[in-house]
Amino acid sequence: MSDTPPSPPDAVPFRDALRFWLKLGCISFGGPAGQIAIMHTELVERRRWISEGRFLHALNYCMVLPGPEAQQLATYIGWLMHRTWGGLVAGGLFVLPSLVLLIGLSWVYLAFGQLPVVAGVFYGLKPAVTALVVHAAHRIGTRTLKNGWLVAIAAAAFAGITVFGLPFPFIVVAAGVAGALGGRWMPQVFTRAHGAAAAHTPHAPAVIDDDTPTPAHARFSRGGLARVLAVGLGLWAAVLAVLTVAFGWQGALAQMGWFFTKAALLTFGGAYAVLPYVYQGAVEQQQWLSAAQMIDGLALGETTPGPLIMVVAFVGFVGGWTQALFGPDALFLAGAMAALVVTFFTFLPSFVFILAGGPLIESTHGRLQFTAPLTAITAAVVGVILSLAVFFGWHVLWPQGVHGPVDVGAAVIALAAAVALFRFKLGVLPVLGACAACGLALHLVRG
**275 neighbors 298 (Cβ within 8 angstroms):** yes
Q: Say if 144 falls within a structural domain.
A: yes
CA distance 265 to 347: 10
CA distance 350 to 265: 9
Q: Say if 203 falls within a structural domain.
A: no
Query: CA-based angle 230:231:232, to the nearest 5?
Result: 95
Residue 305's nearest CA partner among 89, 98, 37 is 98
Q: Say if 50 falls within a structural domain.
A: yes
pLDDT digit string, tens, across residues 36-59: 777 888 898 889 999 887 887 787
Q: Say if 215 falls within a structural domain.
A: no
Residue 371 has pLDDT above 60, yes or no: no
Tally of domains in the chain: 1
Residue 181 has pLDDT above 70, yes or no: yes
Residue 99 has pLDDT above 70, yes or no: yes
Q: Say if 9 falls within a structural domain.
A: no
pLDDT for 326:
94
pLDDT digit string, tens, across residues 113-146: 777 887 788 788 888 878 887 887 887 788 778 8
pLDDT band at 369 (very low <50, low <70, confident <90, very high): very low
pLDDT for 222:
92
Beta strands in 258-389 (DSSP E): none
Residue 368's nearest CA partner among 216, 193, 237, 230 is 193
Q: Say if 186 falls within a structural domain.
A: yes
Handedness of CA 323, 328, 330, 332 (dihedral sign): positive
Tell me the residue range of the domain where 230 lies.
Answer: 14-194+221-446
Residue 366 has pLDDT above 60, yes or no: no
pLDDT for 246:
95
Residue 360 has pLDDT above 60, yes or no: yes
Q: What is the average per-residue pLDDT within 56-73?
A: 81
Q: Say if 202 falls within a structural domain.
A: no
Q: What is the average per-residue pLDDT within 212-236?
A: 93
Average pLDDT of every residue of the chain: 85
pLDDT digit string, tens, across residues 244-299: 999 999 999 999 999 999 999 877 666 667 778 888 899 989 999 998 899 888 88
pLDDT digit string, tens, across residues 419-432: 998 999 887 778 88
295 φ/ψ angles, rounded to the nearest 5 degrees: -65, -45
pTM: 0.76
Q: Say if 216 falls within a structural domain.
A: no
